[in-house]
Each structure stands twice: as C-alpha cells, then as structure tokens.
Amino acid sequence: MSRVAAIDPAYPPPATLGLWFGYAAMCLGMFMAILDIQIVVTSLPVIQDALRIGAERMSWVQTSYLIAEVIAIPLTGLLTRIFSLRFLFAGAVAAFTLASIASAASVGFASLIVARVLQGLAGGVLIPLVFSAIFLLFPRGFQQTLATTMGGVLAVLAPALGPISGGLLTENFSWHWLFLINVIPGIVTCAAGLSFLPRQTLGLGLLRLLDWISLFYIAVALAAFELALKDAPKLGWSSPTVVMLFASFAGLMVLAVRRPRPVVDFDLLKDRNLAFGCGVSFLLGVGLFGSVYLMPVFLAFVRGHGPVEIGLVILVTGIAQLVTAPIAVQLDRRFPARPLAAIGFAGFAIGMAMSTTQTVNTDYDGMFWPQVVRGGVVALCILPPTRFALGFLPLDKVSDASGLYNLSRNLGGAIGIALVDTVMFSRQETYADWLKDLMKSDPAAAAPLMGLKLDEIPAPGDAMGFISVMDSVQGASLTMAINDAWAMLAGITALALVLLWVMGPIRPGALSAAGQPDGE
C-alpha cells in the first residue's frame, strides 16, 4: 500500500519496503528511457529499410527524441508541483509506453517522428524524477546513498546494454520489438508507481499561473541548441546556419531568464553547490556520452562488427559498473564528497586516455582494461556530485534543481558527441592524406599503422595498388582520428578536477536547508 500522508517538507522519514518498490519502479522507468536511445540507434538501418525512409532523414529518428527529451528535463520541477511525484511518474511511464506502441505501429517517416517526439517528452521527465526522488523520499545517510547508487548505476548501465539489446532484438525478432520491449515493463512500473509512491496534493491551480511565453522561449532555445550541435560537425561550427542557431539559443534563453516568473527556476543556480554540481555534471556528460558513442563507431567502422558483437565488447563497462557500485556506496558513506569526486574524474579521464593508443587491430582484449577503469570509477563521478549538488537544498527546491542538474549532463553529452564527430570528420581526412604520403616515403612505417604486411604496400607508381589498399587507409585514418577524440574527451573530463579545486570545501549555500551538516 502507498503512504497516504504527504512527503514531509522538511525531512523524509525512513523509507518503507513499499516505498523502495515504488522507487525501484522509477529507476526502471528511467532505465527504459535511456536504453531506448541506444537500442534504437544501433538498428536504424533496419528501420530505414522497413519504412523506406531516405538516408538523409534517418538521423531525425534520434534527433527528434533527443530534442523532445532535453526540452522536458528542465520542466520536471514545475510538472512535479502540478501533478505530484506519483501521478507525474505514472503519467510519464504511461505516455512513454503508448508512444512506444505508436512507434512500433508506424507506417512511415511522419508517424514515426511524432511517436518519437512523444517518447522523448515522456522519457525526459523520467530521468530527473529519479534524482529528485532520492532526496524527497529518503533520509540522509545510507538510504539516500543507496538510492543514489541505484539511480546512478542504472543511468550509466543502460547505454552499455543498448547495443547488444538492439542487436539481439533485430537479429532474432522484427524491428518493431525495439519499441514493443518497453510495453510490459511500462505497465508494471506504472502500476507499481501508483501503488507504492506517496500520495500528495495536486497543484493543478499552478496551470493558471504558468508563463507560457517563457515555456515557448525555453523549448525553442533548447531545440535550436540541439539542431546546432547536430549540424556543426558537418557544416562547420562557424557556418551561418550553426551560428544563427546558437545565437537563437542564447537570445531566447536570455529572454526566458528575464521573464518575471519563468517556468524554470534559474535563480537556483545562485546556490554554489548546485552551480558547481551542474558544471561537474556537464563535464561528466561530455565524457560519458562521448565514450559511449566512440566505442561502437570504432567497432563498427574499423573492426566491422555487428550490433551483437559490439554489445558483447561494451558489456565489460556495464559489468565493471555493477561490480564496483557497492564499493562506491561504502566510500560515499564514509568520505567527503569532493575528494571522492576528484578520484572518480581522475580515473575516468585516465580510462579514456588509455584508449588513445588503439590500432586497427584493437578489439576486445585491447579495449578491456580501459573499460574496466572507466566503469570502475564512474559511480564516484555520480554519487558524490549528486550529494553536494542536491543534498543541501530545501526539499521544495529539489525537483527544479534536479531538472537543471540533469539538463547540464545531457547538454554536455550533446556537445561531447558533436565535438567527437567534428574531430573524426576533420582529422580523418588529414590522417588519410598523411598515410598516402607515408606509404610512398616510408612503407615500413606505414604498414603496421594500416594493419598490413610490408609486401602489401604498393609501389609509389602503382595507381591500382593504391586503390586496393584504400579501405586500409580509411580504417587506419579513422582509428587515428578516434584516438584524437579519446584524447580530447580525456582532457575535457580532467577539467572537472580544476572545477572541484576551484569550488573549495563544500558548505551549505544561501539556498541550503537549515541544520544540514557540511559535506566535508
């Protein structure tokens, strides 16, 4: 049975078993929303063939979802106050499940895009709901840390399981099951949320006070930002289209912030703990989303693996996360947040730096230890920052703050993927030209870089021979460009160490709840 009393606005009591069931349902709903991104992206060619969608439009199957998701994330705080945690979660899961059915029933591009937008809007709500529930439902200490671990590990485990899940579904069933797989978990989590999450008073009257103008500004601004990042790697970051989109984002966000009562409470960023937490979350998004994106690109386009084979390699990251999560829980209970976060980000950056030496022959063995390092420390990049970013705020501010905190990570991820694409597009061509020259000037040095034997390198005047090794040139040049992208991600992730140092000792900020102990 659910608790009938409203959540204590000052300090939540110890959670009951039923409440843990409700929270577990929330985590599963978030897991579905994040998994859906990767499970679909690995099987886009199958959907393209089935629905006869042109290649130039296929990217919108993902872009439409991501734009809708990033618009919904910062609105979660407002929606929680209007509909309550219980009904918002149940409604979001129900909408996500129905949109999944609609996606599977799509007969063409237009119907699929509409369904994906609805999926993204619902999925975007589910992610920050989990992180706000950690502080709304559980008291400080072990229960809060355990809840943070559950949410954090599932949030980073979903991308690791996406490729193998998508591959198994498309190889053994039809593409429709990429979406229909959400139906049964959706029904179960919706029922569990309604049964076990606490009942609260609805705030439907807030709809009359809603600033629709600021909502419009924020939605269009975030859509423009996502579109700019989508186009920047291909068109160039200084192209008129990209510059116009970024300018639109900046201008509309300024207008939204200057509204008397914007739908997103940007004043929360005056709290230094949340502000630094959002900065750290942004940098984590760059590294986390970028690394999850880079591994399948390398395995697919250099090694030629299919979705299932890619999933089996990437599964190492997920296993490392699960194995080390209990250790991270104990560390987070016993040690200050800032040093733990620094250890996590240092390890994460090192794990990415370990991938900068990949060759065209690198496969499971060569990718094993970098994944172990990254997966082993990622919980320390999530638990401590979440604790100091959201743990000191009054409970009535947590939902809005969680939206900003999760938005920061997603925007960082979008930028990270765009930067990775930029590096790969620009550097691959440069490396390809360099390798062509190297084959003529120093064949002995070029051969191992391309995974060839010395006698397979054509003579300088052999035009047909050069054509025959072009695939090897492309693979080697892409590998070098990917290594540069790994180095870039490592450097950006390491900036979190600077941010944590500048932050200084963690203390309750101006908005922090009274009586809460220092974080360090």
Do 44 and 132 share a structural domain? yes
In a domain? residue 328: yes
Residues of the chain above pLDDT 90, percent: 70
In this predicted structure, the answer to whether residue 446 has a pLDDT above a threshold of 70 is yes
pLDDT in tens, 240-251: 999 999 999 999
Give backbone dihedrals phi and psi of 260, rounded to 5 degrees, phi first.
-60, -40
Q: Are residues 242 and 273 in the same domain?
A: no
**Per-residue DSSP letter, 270:** G
Render pLDDT for 140-192 as a digit per residue (tens, 0 to 9): 888 998 999 999 889 888 888 888 888 888 888 888 999 999 999 999 999 99
Q: Quick check: is 422 in a domain?
A: yes
pTM of the model: 0.91
Do 247 and 347 have their domain in common? no
Judge whether 68 and 120 are in contact, CB under 8 Å: yes
Helix segments in 105-137, DSSP class H:
109-137
Whether residues 315 and 389 fall in one domain: yes
Share of the chain above pLDDT 70, in %: 95
Radius of gyration of the chain from its Cα atoms, rounded to whole angstroms: 24
pLDDT score at 512:
61
Kindly report, residue by residue over 181-221, the tens digit of the pLDDT: 999 999 999 999 999 999 888 888 888 878 999 999 999 99
pLDDT tens-digit profile of 82-137?
999 999 999 999 999 999 999 999 999 999 999 999 999 999 999 999 999 999 99
Q: Is residue 366 in a domain?
A: yes
Residue whose entry in the numeric block shows the structure tokens 């190492």: 316
Q: What is the dihedral of CA 384, 387, 392, 398, to 10 degrees?
A: 140
Owning domain of residue 88: 1-208
510 in a structural domain: no
Residue 476 to residue 296: CA distance in whole angstroms:
16
| pLDDT confidence tier of residue 511, bands split at 50, 70 and 90 | low
Q: Do residues 512 and 273 touch, judged by C-beta distance below 8 A?
A: yes
pLDDT at 209: 79
Same structural domain, 442 and 384: no
Residue 482 covered by a domain:
no
Question: Residue 520 above 70 pLDDT?
Answer: no
Q: How many domains does the chain have?
A: 4
Shared domain check, 273 and 258: no
Query: Can you give the CATH number for the domain in which 362 is found?
Result: 1.20.1250.20
pLDDT at 515 over 50: no
Are residue 350 and residue 493 in the same domain, yes or no? yes
Cα 46 vs. chain centroid, distance in angstroms? 24
Helix (H, G, I), strand (E, B) or coil at 377: helix
What is the arithmetic mean of pLDDT over 61-76? 92
pLDDT class of 517 with cuts at 50, 70, 90: very low
Q: Do 68 and 139 belong to one domain?
A: yes
